[in-house]
Amino acid sequence: MMFNSSFPPTLSQPVSSTEATLIIDLAIVLKPIKPYSQGLIRYKGRCWNARCTSLVTLTENTQVQVIGDYGDYLLVYPFAG
């Protein structure tokens, strides 16, 4: 599936226009993620680069929801659970 790359991205419009794999799972922030910037998360026991489309900074040890895999990074969103 292809996505539109307009800004600001929403859940239906991820950061990149490349194909993404949809994921719905939880991870923990290791390095803070500022809005539309890259940080680091622990997901399934591994460290991953991650980006967020939310307008909040995700701080260390924050639980996030992984919603997409773009190959070189995962797309995350704050977890409200």
CATH code at position 38: 2.40.50.140
| Position 16 in a domain | no
Task: Indicate the Cα dihedral angle 61, 62, 67, 73, nearest 10°.
Answer: -40
Furthest-apart CA pair in the chain: how many Å?
32
| Position 12 in a domain | no
Residue 5 has pLDDT above 50, yes or no: no
pLDDT digits (tens, 9 = 90+) for 10-43: 444 444 545 677 778 999 999 999 998 999 999 9
Number of domains present in the structure of the chain:
1
pLDDT digits (tens, 9 = 90+) for 30-80: 999 999 899 999 999 999 999 998 899 999 999 999 999 999 999 999 998
User: Phi then psi for 27, rounded to 5 degrees?
Assistant: -145, 175
| Position 62 in a domain | yes
Supply the range of the domain harboring residue 65: 30-78
Cβ atoms of 47 and 69 within 8 Å: the answer is: no
Residue 78 pLDDT: 93
